[in-house]
Amino acid sequence: MISGSKPTRSRKENSPVFRLVLVLVLILPLEGAWLTDLKDARKRAFEEKKDVYVVFLATEISGACVQFKKRVLSQDLFQAAIADRFIPVLIDVPLKQTPGVISPFAANRVVAENFGVVRYPTTFFLNSKGIVYARETGAAINEPLKYAAKVIRRSKDQVARLKLIEEAYKQDGLERAKSLIALIKSTPRGADPSLSAEHLEELAKLDPDDSLGFRKDHLAETGFTDLDRAIKEVFHKDSYDQVIKLVDDYIIKFEPKGVLLQKALFPKLAALNHDKQTAQATEVAEAVIAINATSAHGKLAAQILRRLKSK
C-alpha cells in the first residue's frame, strides 16, 4: 500500500457473500469446526438433516494434504460457509508405522481402508442417512470461499438429483424406465450402489426382457469394478494364473463388449506377457487392438505385440 493512500478492497472483499460469511464468523460460534469421529458425525447429520463432508488426509507424507488443510480446510471462512449444509469430518491417516509405537490415529487407517481410500486427499459426500453419494480424489487448493462453493455445489446437485428421481416416478412404462436409466448413468463416481438398487429393481419390472439393454450392460460394469479390485489384490503377488482365470470368468459371466471388454482383456494380456506365455499373449494383444487400436489400451497392446513379435 502506498503511504498516505486509503487501503483498497479487493473484488472478493466487496462481494455480498464474503461480507455475509465474515459477519457470521465474527458474531457466531464456529459450528462448522471439524469432527474426527465419523460415527458421531453421522448421528448429528441424521438429527440435523445435514450432509456429511468427510476428508481423508495423510499429512505425514503428503505436502498437498498439508497445504489443503492449511489454506482451505482450517480457514474459518470455509468452515462457516459449509456449516449450514454439512457436518464436516477430518480424518488424518498415519501411513508411516514406527515399530513399537502405536499412533493415536491408527484407527483412522481402518476407516480409510473401509472407504477404499488409496490416494490422498480423498473426500466423500454422505447424505443425512450416512450413505455416500459422491467421491473426489485430489484437491484444487483455491481460496476458501471458492472451494466452499464447489463443496456446496455437490450437495445442491444431489438435491436436484432427488427431484429428478421424483419426476421420473411420475412417468409410466418405458418412459419411466428411460428416465431412470439416465439417472443411473449419471450417478456420481464413488456413490454407494445402494442408491441405485431400488431403481434397478423398478427397471426389472418395467422392462423384464431388458429390451433397452441397460441392465446387462450395468451388471457388466459393476462386475468389472469387482474384477478390477480382485486383480489388484493378486497381480502384485505374481499370481498370473489367477489373474487370467479372473478375467476369463468375468467374460463368460457378463459377456462385456467394446471398451469394457478391452479393459477386461488388458490385465490378462499383462499377466500372459509377464508369465512369458508368448503365443497366448500375442493372441490376446491382437484381440485388444481389434476392439480399438487408438485407445490407450489399444496403443499399449500394440507396443507389447511388437515386442512379442521381435523375440
**Phi and psi (nearest 5°) for 310?**
-85, -10
Using an 8 Å Cβ cutoff, are 81 and 148 in contact?
Answer: yes
pLDDT of residue 16: 53
Q: Which residue do the cell numbers 508411516 mark?
A: 96
User: What are the DSSP E strand ranges found in the chain?
Assistant: 51-57, 86-92, 122-126, 132-137
Determine the Cα angle at 135 with ends 202 and 143, to 5°.
140
- Is residue 239 packed enough to be buried (19+ CB in 10 Å), middle (13-18) or exposed (0-12)? middle
pLDDT of residue 147: 95
Task: State the Cα–Cα distance between residues 133 and 86, nearest whole angstrom.
Answer: 13
pLDDT of residue 273: 95
Q: Which residues of the chain form CATH 1.25.40.10?
A: 217-310
pLDDT of residue 232: 84
Q: 1.20.1050.10, 3.40.30.10, 3.40.1190.20, 3.40.50.1970: which CATH number matches 11-159?
A: 3.40.30.10
Residues in the chain with pLDDT < 50?
1-10, 13, 18-32
pLDDT of residue 212: 94
Q: Which three cell numbers stand for residue 301?
A: 497392446
pLDDT of residue 33: 82
pLDDT of residue 94: 87
pLDDT of residue 233: 83
pLDDT of residue 205: 96
pLDDT of residue 254: 95
pLDDT of residue 121: 96
Q: Which residues of the chain form CATH 3.40.30.10?
A: 11-159
pLDDT of residue 235: 76
Q: pLDDT tens for residues 187-235?
A: 998 999 999 999 999 999 999 999 999 999 999 998 998 999 899 888 7
pLDDT of residue 29: 38
What's the CATH fold of domain 217-310? 1.25.40
